[in-house]
Amino acid sequence: MTLEATRRAATDVIEVRDPEDGSLVGTVPKAGRDVIEAVLGAAVEGARVSRSMPVHERMTVLRTAADLVAERAEAFAETIAREGIKTIREARREVARCVETLRLSAEEARRVHGETIAFDQRPGSEDRVGYWIREPVGVIAAITPFNDPLNLVAHKVGPAIASGNAIVVKPHSATPLSAIALAEAFRDAGLAPAVLQVVTGRGEEIGDAIVSDQRVAMVSFTGGPAVGDRLVARAGRKKLALELGANSPNLVLRDADLDAAADAIADGAFGAAGQNCLHVQRIIVERPVVAALTEALVLRARRVRRGRKLDETTDMGPLINRAAAERVRAVIADATLRGGTVVAGGAGEGTWVEPTLVADVPRDSRLAREEVFGPAAGLFPVDSLDEAIDLANAAEQALHAAVFTSDLRSAMRVVREVAAGGVIVNDSSDYRIDAMPFGGVKGSGLGREGVAHAITEMTTTKVVCLNL
């Protein structure tokens, strides 16, 4: 079902407004259950079409779509910046990453293969030969968040097409325009419309209908744990890939390069106004260097330039809406009421929150326990590496962790003992490239993204055995 057909079928629209000033950016259809029925019916046909596409055709479509996104880079960047929370410079970086994700997907399409099996390892099977292969699961439902409205869509769409699936994308209702523009690039690249469909609407109204439908073989979701738990309860027996956020610990040991650590931590704490699943939130610092690191971070927090997102000099924009900003301010207030001290920022109104650092954060505070998803980070003094590791592991979510140290033994101990989907040494938890496996443990979700690893999630194994 094309977007135009969805628009005709929908009886209402959603207004997409710039969180910076509330101005209208555009409108999209507000789909209902009748539209979902048509979309999923088309997706079944799309899965048949996609499965039958030769690998070289999948590669060509993905490469062409990547080239079209690159050609339209500035238009994509302006869309990302206007509908969402990123500055124009941050938006341009996201477009570049999307191009890379699609090109990686094209390359990985040629590597969706299996291996031979030595059946004669069992007595009586000497005359058998065979192999295993990977096959597409069929129809994939992808539900994506607002903070990376283009590249996180590409991380689901690219691997799905590379592995011969059809995909229905339900983008966040606050930032649907980037996903629609990406689908248009794929259409212009020659992809059959039924292979990739974007359906827009309120998650609570259409999300259940999508994920619970038996025609959907897999659900790939990026978002918060409460919604993730709801999807798990309604999905039934199907494949799930869930990325549910984090409360990332960044350990700074007494032998760290403090200037380098402060630069990386400030970027990771305040980039995209902290609305990032890899956001630096818990800064766990050995006491001998707490004062020096705090001073360095306060200076960097005060240098962050807030302003209009389309201004080339702006470093940080607003939060996605007023409710999100109020929640972040409430988390900061909770930390101070329990004994923490705001040493930078802390203020804000409407959709804006200042870059905020809280010192001596109490370990029972919301800032210590929850994902803040905003430009606030806390400093947690510790007396030893043992205590730092215990504190790092105290959170329920475990996506990325980081450690800053000049001692290889200490770094490798953190790698071994901190529970996380990734441990970054001498850079912040915010570091990621699009080719790496990406996902968490504990409450941070199930499965892995990163193009090659997402393809594994989006395929099933079939064994072929020939009795000669």
CA distance 230 to 237: 14
Task: Judge whether 465 counts as a catalytic residue.
Answer: no
Q: Report the pLDDT averaged over residues 166-186.
A: 98
Strand 239-243, strand 248-252: pairing: unpaired
Task: Judge whether 108 counts as a catalytic residue.
Answer: no
| Domain ranges for the chain | 3-244+444-467, 248-433
CA distance 283 to 291: 13
248-433 is a CATH 3.40.50.410 domain: no
Angle between the N-to-C axes of helices 177-188 and 55-71, in degrees from 0 to 180, rounded to the nearest 10: 130
Q: Annotated catalytic residue: which of 20, 90, 277, 457?
A: 277
Q: Report the pLDDT averaged over residues 246-262.
A: 98
Predicted pLDDT of residue 144: 97
Strand 400-404, strand 218-222: pairing: unpaired
Predicted pLDDT of residue 205: 85
Percentage of the chain beyond pLDDT 90 is 96
pLDDT digits 0-9 by tens, 410-421 = 999 999 999 999
Q: Annotated catalytic residue: which of 243, 354, 371, 449?
A: 243
Q: CA of 127: how far to CAs of 130, 132, 380, 448, 466, in Å?
A: 10, 17, 64, 38, 8
User: Which pLDDT band holds residue 204 (cuts at 50, 70, 90)?
Assistant: confident
Which residues, including other chains, have CB under 8 Å from residue 122's CB and lie 6 or more apart? none
Q: Tokens standing for 367? A: 């800032």
Helices (H), 18-133: 33-52, 55-71, 73-83, 88-109
- The answer to whether domain 3-244+444-467 and domain 248-433 are alike in fold is no
Q: Tokens standing for 455? A: 């393809």
CA distance 399 to 247: 8
CATH number of the domain located at residue range(s) 3-244+444-467 in this protein: 3.40.605.10
> What is the CB neighbour count within 10 angstroms for residue 123?
6
Predicted pLDDT of residue 3: 54
Percentage of the chain beyond pLDDT 70 is 98
DSSP secondary structure string for all residues of 185-220: HHHHTT--GGGEEE--S-HHHHHHHHHH-TT--EEE
Strand order through the sheet with 400-404 = 341-344, 356-359, 376-382, 280-286, 248-252, 400-404, 422-425
